[in-house]
Amino acid sequence: MRLLLIAESSSLEALIRAQVAHHWPEGEVRLWSPLNQGRLPAEFLAQGYDAVLIAERWSGAEGLDWLRELSARPGFAKTIFLADRPHATLVRTAEAAGAQAVLDFSGSEPAQWRALLRQVADAQRLALGDWRVSAEAREAQRFGDAYIPGYRRARVLARGPVSQLYIAESTKIGALVALKVTQAGREASGVDPAFERFLQEYDIADRLQHPNIVRLFELGVTDDHAYLAMEYFPLGDLRRRMQLGLSPAESLAIASQLAQVLSAIHDAGVVHRDLKPSNVMMRTDSQIALIDFGLAKQLALDLDLTDRGLIFGTPHYMSPEQGHAEPVDGRSDLYSLGILLFEMLAGEKPFTAESPMAVLYRHRHQALPSLPDPVRHLQPLVHRLLAKRPEDRFQTAAAAAQAIEQAREHWLERVMYA
């Protein structure tokens, strides 16, 4: 038995968890807190659950409104409306709004709970079974040329020459995921380098298991394609967050998290090499997760997945040495972090030009612009991160994290006593 509970009542949550644990020891109850998590994503149909339980009310909202909205989604899971001593009018209203059943959570006996849950779960499994053999399901599980059972395509996020990125619903995970799909091809000389980078991305992120690194759920191969199911971030990336506006304290807090996760990566012998706003995802308004290790370099390996003399990365965020295809180490990532911090504080990139090569030239030869007056006192910190020579930067990400965190604390003190 797998249930999704939409509620804010701790006593109701405890009651349902106790019932499920007692009668279905392998069962699962997943809580969705409307006050903390907001609306359920529009693409979500709860196909990985036996039933969705919706509480009657909570602070600032009515469960009936949620019931109407969710039941109106074609293919949404069967719902049970949880009311406290429901009267006949409420029962009729809830059923008209789409509830499969209405349960009196304060007055029902355990046997009634179990019977109702089994009834609704059976109806959900029957409906899902019918859907799985339909032409609609076959099409919904098609990701480009790849057919991937267990994932329902919601929409395309991005298409590239090597891979495509989708939002999909996973019945196994019971949530929306970002599904990256690529050709699992081979060249005459062996494995396609693009596919090898795809496998490396999974290996690095899965091995590090850091709270500020994207969560990975599954790596698989089907129809000559490989796919990687990853954590989905409804709030988008750091670029979107910057467009909404960041205070200096928020900018420093994000930079501090990035320095800390870079420290963990570097300690594991990995250089990210593609640190940019689109690779920094927002888990919440203030918590980040680093993604995309496809260009990462494992310093302990004799074989580099990129050919010597080739440039990989994004010009606006490249260190001078990376932009000129010279050897890189963790200090190159710190330079990219400095670009991000400058952009968060100033609202613009420090080096721009009409062509990528001109941008790379300015990284190496042009003096760093000044920060705006309100944050001018942070110039030494940014200047240290963006030193042209690696030996003039912070020598470790841990040292950079400490300096950034101190700057954030000093800023908060300035605001407090201003």
Q: Specify the pLDDT at position 110.
A: 80
Phi–psi pair at 278, nearest 5 degrees: -75, -10
| Residue 222 token pair | 């089907």
Q: Which long-range contacts (CB under 8 A, 24 or more apart) does 12-17 make?
A: 12/55, 12/82, 12/105, 15/105, 16/53, 16/105
Q: Is 216 helix (H, G, I), strand (E, B) or coil?
A: strand
| CA distances (Å), origin 27, targets 3, 31, 119, 348 | 8, 13, 16, 50
189 pLDDT above the threshold of 70: no
Q: Per DSSP, which regions of 96-215 are E strands?
A: 101-104, 142-143, 146-147, 151-159, 163-170, 175-183, 186-187, 190-191
- The mean pLDDT of 199-214, rounded to a whole number, is 82
- Percent of the chain beyond pLDDT 90? 63
Boundaries of every domain in the chain = 2-132, 143-231, 238-417
Pick the CATH number of 143-231 from 1.10.10.10, 3.40.50.1390, 3.30.200.20, 3.40.30.10: 3.30.200.20
Q: Up-side HSE of residue 16: CA atoms within 13 Å toward CB?
A: 28
- CATH class of the region 238-417: mainly alpha
Q: Which of 237, 274, 292, 333 is catalytic?
A: 274
Q: What is the spatial distance between Cα 13 and Cα 221, in angstroms, rounded to a whole number?
A: 38
pLDDT single digits (tens) 246-285: 999 999 999 999 999 999 999 988 899 889 999 999 998 8
The CATH number of the structural domain formed by 2-132 is 3.40.50.2300
By three-state DSSP, how is residue 301 classified? coil
Cα–Cα distance between 20 and 198 in angstroms, integer? 40
Catalytic-residue membership of 274: yes
- Which pair of tokens denotes residue 225? 């394609």
Assigned token pair, 301: 């390996």
- pTM score, two decimals? 0.84
The pLDDT tens digits for 170-187 are 999 999 999 999 876 555
